[in-house]
A and B are shown apart, each in its own frame.
Chain A
């Protein structure tokens, strides 16, 4: 399967715990995006990388959220001191950058986080 892969698919955690999610993009895509989706809403953009550079992170929801893509391949999204309001689906997507072929984003299946 050469699509975007996310792990884990589901995560249940207690309030106050830290969680980390992993995303493996399509190998030839150097753009990687993180989105969050709550029930009944469309995905909300959080941050994105081009290769290992994080080009936009002002939309991360708070300083408890951080993302890395250290080698320009897979990425991790970490939420520290989780709160019940963090319960959502976290989606990763990848694409070519503008000017390099089709720029449609391909999404993974998401990680569903439940904070209890």
Chain B
């Protein structure tokens, strides 16, 4: 079963705009991770946020975590066409095996 659920399922924006994707999960976690997947390819790790952290930044990425609401968000600022991909959140319950959501498909148009 899916532990994390991303919202929206699909997002279409113009280059330069910001993209926000949300993830909700059901049980307590050790950490939450965001991944990017280009069509038909493997997953690329973007960022890991631990359960005792509230916000993390990496370049144009900003991730927040609200454990009281069991939710996380991924913000991509100043988006580029190359950001077009599917984005997945994955929860780690402490055993390092990840449970993924269905993903958000992001399309960034030039």
A interface, CB within 8 angstroms of B: 4, 6, 31, 33, 35, 40-45, 48, 56, 89, 91, 93, 95, 97-98, 102-110, 112
Query: In the docked arrangement, what's the CA distance between A108 and B43, Å?
Result: 7
Contact B97 A112 (CB under 8 A): no
* A112 x B40 contact (CB < 8 A): yes
The answer, yes or no, to whether B94 is at the interface (CB within 8 Å) is yes
Total contacts A-B at CB 8 Å: 65
**Inter-subunit contact A109/B41 (CB<8 Å):** yes
Given contact pairs A102-B48, A103-B31, A107-B43, A31 touches B96 in the complex (Cβ within 8 A):
yes
Q: Within the complex, what minimum Cβ distance (angstroms) separates B46 from chain A? A: 9
B30 partner residues in chain A, CB cutoff 8 A: 98
Q: Contact check, B43 vs A98: say whether CB atoms are below 8 A apart.
A: no
Interface string of B20-33 (1 = CB under 8 A from A): 00000000001101
Q: Is the CB of A40 within 8 A of B41?
A: no
In the bound complex, how far is the Cα of B2 from the Cα of A57, in angstroms?
18
Give A91 to B2 CA distance when docked, in angstroms. 17
B97 near A48 with CB under 8 A, answer yes
Q: Which of B61-69, B76-84, B98-106 contacts A (4 or more CB under 8 A)?
A: B98-106
State which of A31, A40, A106 has its C-beta within 8 Å of the C-beta of B45.
Answer: A106
> In the complex, A41 Cα to B30 Cα: how many Å?
23
In the complex, which residues of chain B have a beta carbon less than 8 angstroms from the beta carbon of A103?
A: 31, 48, 92, 96
Known contacts A33-B98, A103-B96; 13 additional CB pairs below 8 A are A6-B42, A40-B102, A42-B101, A42-B102, A43-B100, A45-B99, A91-B42, A95-B96, A104-B45, A107-B44, A109-B41, A110-B41, A110-B42
